[in-house]
Amino acid sequence: MSLSKQEMAALVARDIPHGAYVNLGIGQPTLVADHLPEGSGVVLHTENGMLNMGPAAQGDEADQDLTNAGKQPVTELPGSSYFDSAASFAMMRGGHLDVCVLGAFQVSASGDLANWHTGDPDAIPAVGGAMDLAIGAKSVFVMMTLFAKDGSPKLVPACTYPLTGVGCVDRVYTDLATFDLTADGVVVRETFGISYDELAERLDVPLSR
Amino acid sequence: MSLSKQEMAALVARDIPHGAYVNLGIGQPTLVADHLPEGSGVVLHTENGMLNMGPAAQGDEADQDLTNAGKQPVTELPGSSYFDSAASFAMMRGGHLDVCVLGAFQVSASGDLANWHTGDPDAIPAVGGAMDLAIGAKSVFVMMTLFAKDGSPKLVPACTYPLTGVGCVDRVYTDLATFDLTADGVVVRETFGISYDELAERLDVPLSR
Amino acid sequence: MSATICATAEEAVAGIEDGSTVLVGGFGLAGMPVQLIDALIDQGATDLTVVSNNAGNGDTGLAALLARGRVRKVICSFPRQHDSWVFDGLYRDGRIELELVPQGNLAERMRAAGAGIGAFFSPTGVGTPLAEGKETREIDGRTYVLEHPIKGDVALIGAHRADRMGNLVYRRTARNFGPVMATAATTVVAQVTEVVDVGDLDPETVVTPSIFVDRVVRV
Amino acid sequence: MSATICATAEEAVAGIEDGSTVLVGGFGLAGMPVQLIDALIDQGATDLTVVSNNAGNGDTGLAALLARGRVRKVICSFPRQHDSWVFDGLYRDGRIELELVPQGNLAERMRAAGAGIGAFFSPTGVGTPLAEGKETREIDGRTYVLEHPIKGDVALIGAHRADRMGNLVYRRTARNFGPVMATAATTVVAQVTEVVDVGDLDPETVVTPSIFVDRVVRV
């Protein structure tokens, strides 16, 4: 059976090493936090300027001066630290984060990422930290459904949407399969409710396993 | 009569505006601090990472972790702050200091500064913050004797010693005269124990007043 | 030169000229200098270029400044928000110019302005529409795009506490763009919730040293 | 990955390989990681490139490492001191290579390495012997020289206090190169005078966040 969003998040969480420094992108990737086991030692970075961010603030805990990158009120954990935006993005761009988890519109077989703009000429563009996140971490994981609502694959030979980053994605978690994007091509790690052959049939990119 | 080092330092101190942020180079320029009037509001920067540095530490005050750029123990004044070397030199290079006072081997009529190396091929070179100091402040003042021990002028048409910075010096304080280095040439501001005509005779650079 | 402690936000924004580039701190409401923006609206300067992470929310603050037609151009990373209807309308009508900059490049370009860096090679945005037309270079096997400083005539920032010299500390993630903008503008104006005596801030914990700060107002 | 609290300086410097580039903090004695340098001397790695503001004083610390012939090259701003006879001798004998870098460029080049900047245009050193052979460019009427990052395999720094996650605070001007070197090396080792529990450092006052620190030892 295909995976739910929560099941995908649990898979990602399983693959995050103990003690890793991790940035979870806005949207679906934030679900990963709920699946990190007790004692994982994982430290969450939020690009607006904090390390060791805690869970969402509940009720009275909410503090206008303590938010995540989605501008939602969060909490601090013991051992956290605050820093300015230049330092925060320097940390990211300098490759100090172990893992970044992002959503995507499209990912290409060579690891190009498109997740900031649909290409709609009427859309008001907004990029935020997406391009910095895409190229900054030692490992970049993408979480997305494998097919768009119109049935078109989102793992593609080349992105048709405007790019966020080039050759930056290392691994893709989808509802139907997980993939490693390697120098030798796309490697299927696991499938969920779909056979490898059917997957190969429905995607336009060469696969191996 | 020509000025003593202390009198030169007093002249420089007189010309530092109220509330200015100032870096005093190692050596003679440090004497300027002693001549700043009570309530001058001048804030001293030391490039190893501090603003509002206080006077030299006396006896038990000395703290290995609190020194000036000459590695001498100093003190902190109320309102001081500490920062790292990247931030300290960013502050300097970014033009945030109002005045920097430096010693020199030679200064050219166009404001080139030579103060880090005599050009002796056997010398072990060392530059420290000299080149950053030379180009960083809104106003760069030089304090030096006007003539070297061998009688050669130190205010010259072009420096023969290796340069520290190009076109960076705004004003030169010497024992015999003070000079403004302007786009229109070298302007004599004051003379001490020497006539303007004699000064013009002994220097190889065109002067005006 | 030493900072001035202003009695009012009006005094703190006095003299901002038409055509100025104004850096405005904040990420959402955290660190947003709300009272200074309101004072700028009253002050009247127009034809402004505003540099900020966002481009206004709802009908107040930056959005109100935009709605009054006072902003010629916005340089920001994330103008589109659920409540950015003022910017959205102006943009669709072609009445405001937008330079969209990735958030990290936005911060680093201001940092470069404050640090005297002439330009720098950033890996962010390479191969994307936001690097189109920009110089690129391969260095040690990686491609970078050349980015230039963004310097402000004025910075309006929100901090937590100032001493009377202008040293600043911030609070939690409200720090965001404040410290970098404070280095990148000719005149830096900080609104704070408290002004303390000189000596009452621990020098080890000062985030923005007084050298960067020109005017402080308690709000 | 999370920092390791080491029991000894020996453990803290274990694994440093021959040929490594080692960033060494400190400005004079302030912030100098004396015990880590001594441990590096015992550890035995050789053919090292050392990046530090100075090149050793007297016969101990860095000077002792140099005296044992373990350093191939020094990248620093100010090797010549009244008591730098070890470096002076090696240099005059042609037994050590020197790359002399203005102090601000030294700091900024390490900052660039830590911040993922490919190269940057600095105004410092333009027109001087230290910029000879380097690319220059005029930007907005000012000339700059292109400077490249300095990245370390290892950084040895001296801080004041660490928590068990590796967050660091420094003391007074001993801060100097520590925070920037901590961002610029693959493995960062900090010696501190005190290790406190997680939660005992105020998150507002942390200078080097734990993400940069790999090993901590109390000395």
Q: What amino acid is encoded at B34 in this protein?
A: D
Chains D and A touch (3+ CB pairs under 8 A): yes
Contact B45, B92 (CB under 8 A): yes
pLDDT in tens, A137-149: 999 999 999 999 9
Q: What is the CA radius of gyration of chain C?
A: 17
Distance CA C131, CA C126 (A): 6
Contacts D2 to A, Cβ<8 Å: 18-19, 41, 43
| Separation in Å, CA A165 to CA A203, A206, C80, C102, D202 | 22, 21, 20, 11, 36
Does D34 share its domain with D90? Answer: yes
Does C36 share its domain with C134? Answer: no
Tell me whether residue D11 is in a domain: no
Dmax (CA) for chain B in angstroms is: 52
Q: Which of the four pLDDT bands, split at 50, 70 and 90, describes residue C1? A: confident
Does C96 share its domain with C142? Answer: no
Distance CA D168, CA D174 (A): 13
Domain B5-208 = CATH 3.40.50.300: no
Chains B and A touch (3+ CB pairs under 8 A): no
Residues 6+ apart with CB under 8 A from D48: D18, D19, D20, D21, D22, D65, D70, D71, D72
Distance CA A70, CA A48 (A): 9
Query: Dihedrals φ, ψ of D14, to 5°?
Result: -60, 140
Average pLDDT value for chain C: 97
> Residues A153, A159, A162, A163: is their CA dihedral positive or negative?
positive
> Does A172 have pLDDT greater than 90?
yes
D interface mutation test: which of C117, C135, C172 has the most D CBs within 10 A? C117
Q: Is A47 considered catalytic here? A: yes
| Overall average pLDDT of the A73-87 stretch | 97
Does C86 share its domain with C159? Answer: yes
> Does D1 have pLDDT greater than 80?
no
Instruction: Read off the tokens for A178.
Output: 């997980």
Does C72 share its domain with C143? Answer: no
Does D213 share its domain with D159? Answer: yes
Tell me whether residue C2 is in a domain: no
Does C126 share its domain with C90? Answer: no
- Supply the range of the domain harboring residue D132: 114-149
Does D54 share its domain with D142? Answer: no
Does residue C114 sit in helix, strand or coil? helix
> Does D34 have pLDDT greater than 90?
yes
Tokens 């620093």, residue? D76
- Give the H or E element holding residue D203: none
Is C204 within 8 Å of D172 when comparing Cβ atoms?
A: yes
> Does D167 have pLDDT greater than 90?
yes
Tokens 């605050």, residue? A82
Distance CA B182, CA B164 (A): 19
How confident is the model at residue B1, as a pLDDT?
86
> Residues C90, C92, C95, C100: is their CA dihedral positive or negative?
positive
Tell me whether residue C7 is in a domain: no
Contacts C108 to A, Cβ<8 Å: 86, 89-90, 93
The ipTM (two decimal places) reads 0.98
Does residue C107 sit in helix, strand or coil? helix
Distance CA D49, CA D51 (A): 7
Residues 6+ apart with CB under 8 A from B25: B69, B100, B101, B102, B103, B130, B133
| Overall average pLDDT of the D65-83 stretch | 96
Does D47 share its domain with D145? Answer: no
Tell me whether residue D25 is in a domain: yes
Contact B98, B141 (CB under 8 A): no
> Does A121 have pLDDT greater than 90?
no
How confident is the model at residue D114, as a pLDDT?
98
Does D32 share its domain with D140? Answer: no
Does C140 share its domain with C173? Answer: no
Instruction: Read off the tokens for B109.
Output: 């009529």
pTM above 0.90, yes or no: yes
- Structural domains counted in chain D: 2
Does residue C216 sit in helix, strand or coil? strand
Q: What amino acid is encoded at B182 in this protein?
A: T
B interface mutation test: which of D93, D103, D183, D208 has the most B CBs within 10 A? D103
Does residue D31 sit in helix, strand or coil? coil
Strand order in the sheet with B185-191: B74-82, B50-56, B43-46, B21-24, B99-103, B139-143, B171-173, B177-182, B185-191, B207-208
pLDDT in tens, B173-200: 999 999 999 999 999 999 999 999 999 9
Does C95 share its domain with C174? Answer: yes
Tokens 């960083």, residue? B136
